[in-house]
Chains A and B, each alone.
Chain A
């Protein structure tokens, strides 16, 4: 589904990704771990199409298409979802309005009619129940005055409504208390399917207790320096990132 080869990217003059290769197939859950500054969030932003990052080499194929040719909105409509580490507050834009606009942008791309208002509400309420979100959040400004946990639940709500082929969740666990973490994990697990891939970008192993990955990759200085199964995450938790770096350099 997602095929990243030797990807190099920078922001301004700073090289961040230095030859990253990653292959993600439908049905798989990958965890990308790594110390601060290793390029985890940059990878998520580059795949989503953030224009501050300049891709200087390598390729990214998504469902056989050259992803780097597409604008961020086209990537989203093709089925990529980025769950933001810092969801943006947009006062004056109603949460329901954004959800509906996003769903309809995708439906239009797929040649479908706009979602029926009743159908939309029913679907939104269903997904909100799963995430233990109060339906009144639909009528608030997007993320406006939301707590950290509410913002992250709202990201997962958007993901659940959009049913992406590939979800990249950037530090979705950061700043969550245990109840919010469980709710978010429930939302993500509900979306796991043989047709869908999920990439979890995380600093800590904690999230992986609730969402079990098929693969774990360690990112350091813009490259994947080690890959393994979920036991790698546990080993990292015990030994720290320094251990992998030393092992990689040896």
Chain B
């Protein structure tokens, strides 16, 4: 398949048209780097199953449309904030909305703009993100940070009739022994197509502890690529939970670099993928030193004509002895037209390591179905119960426990849509 042509000259012009500020030189460098490499294609090993044609088209068209961004969907904003209690920072169509962002002003958080030194990520979509970045946010979280509720990052995109794309970037640093709970939510609305390109960086200094919940519930005609790069120093600990419930095409790259001894990275994910959706989770953990622990479990429920990808890579570098790395990916396929490409990868260059991985792809357990039916529960109800139980395992072990009820409700709503689709 040939990718749609992307007009690099239009990109360079768009970058030149952005207001001059401290990032101007970095944007131009990034634009040149991007132009040299272009969008990833299915010929790239890491993008084998995710075709960005639609994203390229949206990017191209949104460069040509000079219209101002649409007004923010205030209802969606309020609803999201009501559902998840947090000290919010709202990034609307790529710009921080000061009046909706009390989270930048709570004790223990220092917020500022991204500087040139904060920006280096060697990856084409990160280059594109930087080239078109309007507002980069930097959050430093101090050890005294101890709010009553999580810090929230709400990415909200609204479109009307014009195709649009958004490039947002946030760097979060937890200083030594800081303890932070963070919620990252992505929502969108509007009839036109939209592409969101998010790049986040999370640094945990020595002894820092972070619970991090990411929820993506964008409109099913909107696409997103999102990268989170994490670095973990000695004795730090990250518990990350990732939920993909919406979106047309979603690609997540979660890269974790374990740079200090006794660091722990635990990350779980759930994707519920229905007709017409595509969700790709690529995770990579670099164990640079040991001992350290990384554990991940992703689960997916797939229905209708859809595709999901899970690629979990753990690299145990030379000398990272005492590494304990486990990866698991389980998928429930509720339709014959659903496709999952699941691939665990282990590269081990150290001697004293404990690594395990497992993936499963299948239907509901027939034995469990019969067991429930033998207790008087109807077949459709038994299927519903087992599908929910499959997903609940991830909800119940995800970070930010006070969000579990809301998450469970969202998951239930998505699964109910799938149930309805299957009955018709």
A→B interface (CB under 8 Å): 48-51, 71-73, 75-77, 81-82, 84, 87-88, 90-93, 98, 101-102, 105-106, 109, 141, 158, 162
Q: A92-B390, A92-B393 are in contact. Are A105 and B374 (CB under 8 A)?
A: no
Q: Do residues A105 and B377 form an inter-chain contact, with CB atoms below 8 A?
A: yes
A109 adjacent to B372 (CB under 8 Å): no
Over the window 368-401 of chain B, the binary record of Cβ atoms lying under 8 Å from chain A Cβ atoms (1 yes, 0 no) is: 1011111111110110011011111100100000
Which of A75, A81, A98, A106 meets B372, CB within 8 Å?
A98
Contact B365 A72 (CB under 8 A): no
Q: In the bound complex, how far is the Cα of B372 from the Cα of A90, in angstroms? A: 10
Q: Given the complex of chains A and B, what is the CA–CA distance between A59 and B367 in angstroms?
A: 25
The answer to whether B373 and A72 have CB atoms under 8 Å apart is: yes
**A158 touching B375, Cβ below 8 Å:** yes
**Contact assessment for A87 and B385 in the assembled complex, using a CB-CB cutoff below 8 Å:** no
Is the Cβ of B379 less than 8 Å from the Cβ of A50? no
CB closest residue in chain B, given A72: B373
Contact among A82, A92, A141 with B374 in the assembled complex (CB-CB below 8 Å): A82
A71 surroundings in chain B (CB, below 8 A): 373, 379
Bound state CA distance, A158 and B374, in angstroms?
Answer: 11
Cross-chain contact A50 with B370 (CB below 8 angstroms):
yes
Q: A81 to chain B: which residues have CB within 8 Å?
A: 374
Q: Please, how many angstroms separate the alpha-carbon atoms of A76 and B375 in the complex?
A: 6
- Residues B389 and A93 in contact, CB atoms below 8 Å apart: yes
- How far apart sit A105 and B365, CA to CA, in the bound complex (Å)? 21
A77 CA / B373 CA spacing, docked (Å): 10
Q: Contacts A88-B365, A90-B368: A98 and B375 contacting too (C-beta < 8 A)?
A: yes
Q: Is there an interface contact between B371 and A77, defined as CB atoms closer than 8 Å? A: no
A35 CB to nearest B CB, Å: 25
Say whether B386 contacts A101, CB under 8 Å. no
| In the A-B complex, the 7 residue pairs with the closest CB atoms | A92-B389, A105-B376, A76-B376, A102-B375, A72-B373, A88-B371, A92-B392
Inter-chain contacts of A84 with B (CB < 8 A): 371, 374
Report yes or no: B386 in contact with A73, Cβ–Cβ below 8 A.
no
Rounded to whole angstroms, the CA-CA distance of A109 and B375 in the bound complex is 13
Partner of B378 from A82, A105, A141 at Cβ < 8 Å: A105
In the complex, the answer to whether B371 meets A90 with C-beta atoms within 8 Å is: yes
- Nearest-Cβ distance from residue B272 to partner chain A, whole angstroms: 15
The answer for the CA separation of A158 and B376 in the assembled complex, in Å, is 11
Chain B 348-365: CB-based contact to A (< 8 A → 1; otherwise 0): 000000000000000001
Q: Across the interface, which residues of B come within 8 angstroms of A158, CB to CB?
A: 375
CB-contact partner of A88 in B367, B378, B393, under 8 A: B367
Contacts of B367 in A (CB 8 A): 88
Q: Are A93 and B386 within 8 A (Cβ)?
A: yes
Q: Are A77 and B389 in contact (CB under 8 A)?
A: no
Contacts of A88 in B (CB 8 A): 365, 367-368, 371
Q: In the assembled complex, which residues on chain A have CB atoms less than 8 Å from the CB atom of B373? A: 49, 71-73, 76
- In whole angstroms, how far apart are the Cα atoms of A152 and B373 in the complex? 18
Contact A162 to B375, CB < 8 A, known contacts A90-B386, A93-B386: yes
Q: Which of A48, A76, A92 has the most CB of B within 10 A?
A: A92
A93 B385 Cβ-Cβ under 8 A: yes
Q: Which residues of A contact B385 (CB under 8 A)?
A: 93, 101
Given A90-B368, A91-B393, A92-B392, 5 more A-B residue pairs with CB atoms under 8 Å apart are A73-B378, A73-B382, A88-B367, A98-B372, A102-B375
Which residue in chain A gives the minimum CB-CB distance to B375?
A102
Across-interface contacts of A92 in B (CB, < 8 A): 388-393, 396
Interfacial chain B residues near A76, Cβ < 8 Å: 373-376
Cross-chain contact of A91 among B371, B374, B378, B389 (Cβ < 8 A): B389
Interchain CA distance A90-B370 in the complex, whole Å: 12
Bound state CA distance, A84 and B368, in angstroms? 11
CA A105 to CA B379, docked complex, whole Å: 12
In angstroms, Cα B374 to Cα A76, docked, is 6
Chain B residue contacts of A98, Cβ below 8 A: 372, 375
Beta-carbon nearest neighbor of A102 in chain B: B375
* Across-interface contacts of A105 in B (CB, < 8 A): 375-378
Chain A residues, CB < 8 A from B386: 90, 93
B397 to chain A, nearest CB (A): 11
Closest CB of chain B to A152's CB: distance in Å?
14
25 contacts between A and B (CB under 8 A): A49-B374, A51-B370, A73-B373, A73-B374, A73-B376, A73-B378, A75-B374, A76-B374, A82-B374, A87-B371, A88-B365, A88-B367, A90-B372, A91-B393, A92-B388, A92-B393, A92-B396, A93-B389, A98-B375, A101-B375, A101-B377, A101-B385, A109-B376, A158-B375, A162-B375
* Max count, chain B CB within 10 A of own CB: residue among A50, A91, A93, A162: A93
Beyond A72-B370, A84-B371, is A90–B389 a contact (Cβ under 8 Å)? yes
CA A236 – CA B381 in complex, angstroms?
A: 44
A105 to B368, CA, bound (A): 17
CA distance A239 to B368 in the complex (A): 39
How distant is the Cα of A73 from the Cα of B382 in the complex, in angstroms? Answer: 10
In the complex the two chains form, is B379's CB within 8 Å of A73's CB?
yes
CB-defined contacts of A72 to chain B, threshold 8 Å: 370, 373-374
Expressed in whole angstroms, the minimum distance between the Cβ of B294 and any Cβ of chain A is 23
Rounded to whole Å, the gap between the CB of B324 and the closest CB of chain A is 22
Q: Which residues of A contact B392 (CB under 8 A)?
A: 92
| CB-based contact B376/A102 at 8 Å | yes
